[in-house]
Structure 1
Amino acid sequence: MSTGVEVRSPLEMLYNWEQEKPEVLYLRQPIEGQWINYNWARVADEVRRMAAWLQAKGYEPGSKVAILSKNCVHWVLADWAIWMAGYVSVPIYPNVTPHTLNQILEHSESKLCFVGKLDDWPYLKPGVPAAMDRVSFPFYGINEFPNWDEVLQGVEPMKENVVYPMDNICTIMYTSGTTGIPKGVMHSFFNFAYAASNALPPLHIGQEATFFSYLPMCHIAERLLIEMGSLYAGGQVSFAESLDTFPKNLADTQPTVFLAVPRIWAKFQEKILEKMPQKKLSLLLSIPVINGIVKNKIRKTLGLAKATNIFSGAAPISVELINWFGKLGIQIQQAYAMTEDSCYSHVNIKWRDKVGTVGEALPDVEVRISEEGEIQIRHEALMKGYYKEPGMTAEVFTPDGYFKTGDKGERDSEGYLRITGRVKDLFKTSKGKYVAPGPIEMKLMDDPDIEQACVVGLGLPQPIALVTLSESGRKKTERDLEHVLRTTMFHINEGLDSFEKMQKIIIITDEWTIDNGLMTPTLKIKRGDVEKKYQMNYEKWYDIKGDILWEEVES
């Protein structure tokens, strides 16, 4: 059954707010501690002028234009100018390697690259073909090619409210690549319009909404919730200036809508417990009146005092962590979607949230579980395919049009979905038993001394766990830490089937990071690369006496 919601293109929404509330503040950008404000009139004017300049370049309609930048005002302006000019935007993660950057620019055949807010442009520069047109964003110190503000001087804005067919491809989003070379997911104007128009009403997100943008805009969740969410709701967006200023920027903004990934929720927890140990926090929360004061102070300090929709996505989050924040009056709503389904799939609605699930299907989403336990999704806004990869596209769709997510899951009697693992993450032990590592890893990461966990065991009699340590774990003595990890493993093993029980924990010396290639830009572990790095040691570690081992000692 259709929702009957009117679907208007993103550009039509921009024209709407430009006319309806030109002087209302839309985007806020902190530069050296000062907020620079952009109302709808200024946003539309700069988009129109950059679109006119881009059209004057004479590229073929539908040409690709790349955006290489962290989130900022000009990321959004560039995206919409590319669309208005009749081109296709290609957002690229700002923390890719030069090799991956070059791969994407060459594969997409991008004609021009907007270069903006980056940690290390000299490092990335070799990845951009020397002959490619480039424009830099203002504020970020890149002056070797034309700057946005210089380019717009004397350019007349496009006057007409141009609208392209809704089925036109508007963007190619290269996935962050947990499973290898990034794939270019093609989306149309309709896909974004459909997802935003249908997702916002059930969540009660409207013109009063304020958003905070810091997760990569190249990721579908940030792009749909923040960029498209604010555009379709008519809300306001504030950006983070840097990692160092993130806490202050968030506290200054006090958004009504906030999205984080599980690793960030774990970091929030760690910082709270640094200032107030668990024993003291539990005591204060047990005292009437005082508990309300403590909760309000923590929410305000974090920047979530006004938040009415608080989401976690991109990776599974543990029930224990959700419940921990729930005791502070912070209700985390777990959601589930993918780049390929336009970030339109499942979400927990605040007033009927079911902890431990990723919520109910959004309006008009058809969902089924295959015989193999795989979650399959169908709706009108699924991707148009992987760019230049018809074979790979065919592999991920069923004959009747369902997208094969690659995730395993279960639905309860009320339609709530629970993710149980990845179809391809299962490994077989030497006893011939298949183990799903995801649920075990989530339980391990409930231990505040563990930063990251990867459960492995292909060809071993029993699984073993590779873990890296959090700040609190690194501060403990070797003896105390081993005791804590041994206790954690014992309690987890109690709830597992015999073939799933961990034989030992290996404490890995170095963190798994984006820079060393063991995490994606969205902070997911690249399981295949982690396995490749350590697999040669598995049998040796397994045979060494002891249940808690240190990599640097035993390697």
Structure 2
Amino acid sequence: MNNNNNQTTLLHRFLHWESSTPDTIYLTQPLADGSVQEYSWREVGDQARRMAAHLRSLDLPGKSSIGLFAKNTAHWIIADLAIWMAGHVSVPLYTTANADTVRYVLEHAEVRLLFVGRLEGEAAGWDAVCASIPDSLPLIDLPMSSCGEGTSWQHIIATTEPLQSVHLPAPEELATIIYTSGSTGDPKGVMHSFAAMYAAPAVTGCMYANGQGTSSSDRLLSYLPLAHTAERAVVEAVSLFSGCRVFFSLGLETFSEDLRRARPTIFLSMPRLWTKFYQGINERIDPATQAAVFANPVEGKLMKAQILSALGLDQVHTGLSGSAPLPVKVMEWYRQLGLELLEGYGMSENFGTSHFSLPGQVRVGYVGAVIPGVECRIGADNEILVKSPAQMLGYYKLPELTAQSYTEDGLFRTGDRGELDEQGRLRITGRVKELFKTAKGKYVAPVPIEAKLGNHPRVEASCVTGVGLAQPLALLNVSAETRAALASAEGRDKVATELEVFLAEVNAQFEAHEQLACLVVVREPWTIGNALLTPTLKIRRSQIEERYHNQIEGWGGSRCTVVFE
């Protein structure tokens, strides 16, 4: 672990690496032609300083909101640094956001300038939202931009001298406004100080490399949205804090190649991708064959190493997962390979710095104990209350909501329900407002049931519902392979049989009033585009329930255990 961490913000840390290791490669960007562009700390600093000088020349008010609307690239991080160097505040936008959300964030945050980079669908993605962007808003096109209507980043860099005297922020200054993905209502602007963004990597060292922490020799692959707290905390903040090297991915088509190029030592992913890796290997090597080979100490060690190498995960010392529970068999498979996946829990409001499982202390179904410096207790309605060193300054322009979100002694009301075991490890049991009552007057918590449903390889997401029904039921968003199988009668019968058996297994684990009347396989996939998933792939419960509202009662009373919409 690098011990020279006396600087107080991530910008100070960047300046340290820029001066002490100027020629070390910091960012590696793949290009469309298959080549890569590498940027040293010196080169990142030079471009950031030139862009900061340009921002200064615009005479914007101090601490102006500057938008970042782009997929992850090296220049996303360089632009963020430039915004800070110029004394302004960065406001990331999800590239999956629709026109209404883009308009709302730009207006609400009073964005004075917008950096535009690669978007979902490239040029089509820009065409879908450009009408929501005011004509008067200055645009700067990052390299590989989908827009083409702003001033070119390259032109600005080529014609502007680097800013020598950059803004050195105080820890308590506002650094960024992160808009939540908005599972309900308009997104809220979470304000984070430089102190919070620095505290996150400073206190989470216990999570990495069996407690040894992060170092400048670590490698990271950035592919989850940098507009989201998790990627910002684990990739941007950690890399600036410890001087790690960051590789980027161009997208799904090149992801495997990008991953093998990076050979990351720290890898953060969501359960869906960890599961796809697992399923992909099982398609190539039958699970029975794996089990037989693993039983042989010599051959088993070789095969495990080959599997991890094929995935590009052979150098990973810390595998992280979040946002939803990992299927148990997936977690056990990786553990067999020698990679113990660590689940955690955090929120935008505490910059993801709350709870995390530690190696050798993993308990299935739990997200770990508090990270050092974090305080947690269970309040009324079993609500999880947390105080974190990386706690937000508040919600932008919402002082009343900010005040309501804290207890009198300063703990944040997460809205999540949970319980602690004897070692202080936390289990999430649902949302305080997600409990619903069946016709029998019994309360049902949907999240634990949905976690069990997520263990089936055909299920990508589920929504347990049933207000006023005799028994709850579950709506299932199934995999593309399963949808293809449903096209034939034989395939549909096979899927129905599998799900019937699975439903019996799930119901056996719950009390009578929680047992599901049926599983409903919905016709249309839930996606970010149809607003049924958030940008971080969590279900939008209220929107899903509204969409199927008129059919739920009929499905619940159909007496069929598996229903195809």
TM-score bin (small chain): over 0.9
Equivalent AA in structure 1 for residue 184 of structure 2: T
Q: Deviations over 1:486-530 (max 9, x none)?
A: 000001111110000011111111110001110011011111110
Are 2:54 and 1:53 aligned? Answer: yes
Residue aligning to 2:16:
16
Residue aligning to 1:40:
41
Are 2:446 and 1:437 aligned? Answer: yes
Distance 2:482 2:159 in 1: 58
Equivalent AA in structure 1 for residue 29 of structure 2: Q
SS across alignment from 1:522: coil
Are 2:141 and 1:136 aligned? Answer: yes
Are 2:479 and 1:470 aligned? Answer: yes
Alpha carbons 2:117, 2:142 under 8 Å: kept: yes
Q: Deviations over 1:91-111 (max 9, x none)?
A: 000010011101100110000
Residue aligning to 1:535:
549
Alpha carbons 2:84, 2:167 under 8 Å: kept: no
Are 2:479 and 1:479 aligned? Answer: no
Normalised TM-score (structure 1) = 0.96
Match of 2:466 among 451, 457, 460: 457
Alpha carbons 1:261, 1:314 under 8 Å: kept: yes
1:424 deviation in Å?
1.6
Q: Deviations over 1:147-204 (max 9, x none)?
A: 1011122211111253122111111000001122100000011111111222136522
Match of 1:353 among 359, 362, 367: 362
SS across alignment from 1:335: strand
Residue aligning to 2:82:
81
1:102-501 alignment runs, 5 A limit: 102-118=103-119, 119=121, 120-140=125-145, 142-200=147-205, 203=208, 204-476=213-485, 477-501=491-515
Alpha carbons 2:50, 2:156 under 8 Å: kept: no
SS across alignment from 1:372: helix
1:331 deviation in Å?
1.2
SS across alignment from 2:27: strand
1:7 deviation in Å?
5.4
Residue aligning to 2:25:
25
- Which has the larger displacement, 79-88 or 117-126? 117-126
- Which has the larger displacement, 21-30 or 410-419? 410-419
Alpha carbons 1:50, 1:152 under 8 Å: kept: yes
- Which has the larger displacement, 387-396 or 472-481? 472-481
1:6 deviation in Å?
4.1
1:467 deviation in Å?
0.8
Alpha carbons 1:347, 1:361 under 8 Å: kept: yes
SS across alignment from 1:479: helix
Alpha carbons 2:472, 2:515 under 8 Å: kept: yes
SS across alignment from 1:172: strand
Q: Deviations over 1:243-292 (max 9, x none)?
A: 11011100121100000011222222222222223333333323332222
Alpha carbons 1:7, 1:193 under 8 Å: kept: no
RMSD of aligned C-alpha atoms? Answer: 1.7
1:417 deviation in Å?
1.4
1:129 deviation in Å?
1.1
1:5 deviation in Å?
7.5
- Which has the larger displacement, 138-147 or 454-463? 138-147
- Which has the larger displacement, 108-117 or 440-449? 440-449
Distance 1:235 1:4 in 2: 14
Q: Are the structure 2 counterparts of residues 426 and 7 from structure 1 closer, same or farther at C-alpha, using a change threshold of 3 Å?
A: farther
- Which has the larger displacement, 272-281 or 172-181? 272-281
Number of residue equivalences: 549
Alpha carbons 1:319, 1:355 under 8 Å: kept: yes
1:4 deviation in Å?
13
- Which has the larger displacement, 473-482 or 19-28? 473-482
Distance 1:398 1:89 in 2: 29
Unaligned 5+ segments in structure 1 are none
Residue aligning to 2:488:
none
Normalised TM-score (structure 2) = 0.94
Distance 1:193 1:397 in 2: 22
SS across alignment from 1:415: coil
